[in-house]
Chains A and B, each alone.
Chain A
Amino acid sequence: MTNRERAMNILHFRQADRLPAVHFGYWKELLFEWAQQGKIPAEIAEKQGDGNEYDRKLDGILGFDFNWCRTYGADMGLRPPFETKVLEELPDGSRRVRNSFGIVEKIHPGVVSIPAEDDYLLKDRKAFEQLYREKMQYTEERINKAFFEKFNESVYEKTDIPIGINLGSLMGDIRNMVSVVGMSYLIYDEDEELFADIVNTYAEMQYRCVDRILSMGVKFDFGHYWEDICFNNGPLLSPELFRELCFRHYERRNGLCHKHGIDIISLDCDGVTDKLLPTWVESGVNVMFPIEIGTWGDQFEPARKKFGQKVLGVGGMDKTALRKDKKAVDAEIERIRRLVSLGGFIPCPDHRLMPGTKFELVQYYAEQIKNIRI
């Protein structure tokens, strides 16, 4: 049985010979740590990216079968993106940098973290019309036609792992353009209509991108969104407003996937996602990912109880166990067994493996997972 068959069978509640050992990538610092310890070649540490050839080489070393995030799609961001520009060098060594989304970030030297948002361009209607609207339009240049024309033979048929189409992001990208603070101000007292206009404009462009690729007859096993719009206490905006702004766009895009035979649609959202799940599930999203149980306490079981087999899961393995010892990993695997027995669930570390993760424990985990029969 191939990894593609294994994964798709499990997510369709069919028999599989065993669980696939799936992961969600690594913090770069961990790979450098492992390279320094002599566990992996430095070239892999430098060049690994989700689903690329170095990721696959690392899969071989660690015993993983595949990275869930092997997706392909159009250029669905701002086009052209803003030129990344250093605006100011500060006396403490930090820099104020305007990024490709138009956010001004304060970057501290040597700090490995998400940069601090300092300012943003998209504050009002004028900025949207003058700086952003055109960057959110659909153009044929967003699609790499030559690549997708040969995709089935050169990519899909050449691998045995599930391949996804990137379905984009409705709220996560927009949050990246205006920051959480800016999003709040736009929604609540500066220009509610403007915020809806931004969401609708961006969503239309992304829909057309997905439509164009699928209309070319390109084969995919699943669709995949990225949002990251929740934190440890739930969503970053009210579930009602989220539904009002986004539901019809998800439903339309998911409908497109269904029309082309794609019935597995996953959505990557960190944090505690339960308040937004109804919107996603009702619109046709059916795979929770990565289900951050360790850091944020997000859970799969309550979702399954609430939505039944409409909800599938990829993730939910507490990655912090991989920094501890075999006993902790064994305990985590025992906990996961229960979730696997529910069906429609593939365990995967609940986010990127972080610095301090023990190389040998990862190998041990991957081996144990592959021993689990379905």
Chain B
Amino acid sequence: MSITEEISEKLQKGRAKEVAALVEQAMQEGTAASVILNEGLIAGMNAVGEKFKKNEVFVPEVLVAARAMNAGLKILKPAMQNEGIKPLGKAVICTVKGDMHDIGKNLVKMMIEGQGIECVDLGVDVDPQRIVEAVKESGAKVVCLSALLTTTMMEQKNVIEALKAAGIRDQVKVMVGGAPVTQQFADEIGADCYTLDAASAAEAAKAYFTE
């Protein structure tokens, strides 16, 4: 088994300390940061995402895998900068105004970061205007909006309206998700994308940066 395969495997098991140690070892052995990133860390998160979609693993496994990925990234970051590795792009992510739930939002964020996309996380209970400002400041190409409640899902529409009013709707792809959200609802409010789970959201986000 190669060291990148080992990194991927340990990441899938959520072994943060071992992932960090293996990344360190791989760097010392002269493995390129891009190889460690793509064949080790991102490959591991992709595998977790696939298993999550198929109900082979559950929320805890995703959370510990993401933590292991972050532990590896922390070690790898200086080498990534030296090699000039840049994220695929930026995505603004948040839970909409009036809604404090963050588990779904955090899962999507972890999966998206696992695809090499930088996330500007605005947190929970976020006002549409703040999202507009964050898009302008960061130049993000994707906006991910989470809502858990039937009472707050309409806020996703308000964000889309705010992006239109600010004249930047065409610059971003708006992805919506959350328990009460459906494809029909996403179509009704004019969102660009709805996915059923976090792993599918990450795949869809990646597609926007690579299309």
A contact set with B: CB distance below 8 Å: 27, 29, 106, 108, 111-117, 180-181, 183-185, 187-189, 231-238, 271, 275, 295-296, 320, 354-356
Residues of A within 8 A of B61 (CB): 184, 188, 238
Q: Would you list which residues of chain B between 178 and 207 have a CB under 8 Å from chain A?
A: 178-180, 196-197
Q: Is the CB of B101 within 8 A of A114?
A: yes
Interface with A: B35-43, B51-59, B136-144, which one? B51-59
Q: Is the CB of A181 within 8 A of B125?
A: no
B53: nearest chain-A partner, CB-CB = A233
Contact of B179 among A27, A231, A354 (CB under 8 A): A231
**Which 7 residue pairs spanning A and B have beta carbons closest together?**
A184-B60, A232-B179, A184-B63, A113-B100, A116-B100, A188-B64, A108-B125
With contacts A232-B179, A295-B150 known, what are 16 further pairs, Cβ within 8 A? A29-B151, A111-B125, A113-B149, A116-B100, A180-B103, A185-B63, A185-B67, A188-B64, A189-B15, A231-B104, A231-B179, A232-B178, A234-B58, A235-B58, A237-B59, A296-B179
Residues of A within 8 A of B100 (CB): 106, 108, 111, 113-116
* Interchain CA distance A27-B149 in the complex, whole Å: 12
How far is the CB of B134 from the nearest CB of chain A, in Å?
A: 16
* Interchain CA distance A181-B65 in the complex, whole Å: 12
Residues of B within 8 A of A354 (CB): 150-151
24 of the cross-chain contacts (CB-CB < 8 Å) are: A108-B100, A108-B124, A108-B125, A111-B100, A111-B125, A112-B151, A113-B98, A113-B100, A114-B100, A116-B100, A116-B101, A180-B60, A181-B63, A184-B60, A187-B60, A189-B14, A231-B103, A232-B179, A233-B196, A295-B150, A295-B180, A320-B150, A354-B150, A355-B151
Count how many pairs of residues, one from A and one from B, have CB atoms less than 8 Å apart in the complex. 87
B5 proximal to A (CB < 8 A): no
* Interchain CA distance A356-B124 in the complex, whole Å: 23
Contact of A233 among B15, B63, B101, B197 (CB under 8 A): B197
A27: nearest chain-B partner, CB-CB = B151
* Interchain CA distance A112-B155 in the complex, whole Å: 14
How far is the CB of A169 from the nearest CB of chain B, in Å?
A: 18
B6 proximal to A (CB < 8 A): no
Main secondary structure of the interface of B (DSSP, over half): loop
B99 proximal to A (CB < 8 A): yes
* Interchain CA distance A187-B58 in the complex, whole Å: 12
B152 proximal to A (CB < 8 A): yes
Residues of B within 8 A of A237 (CB): 58-60
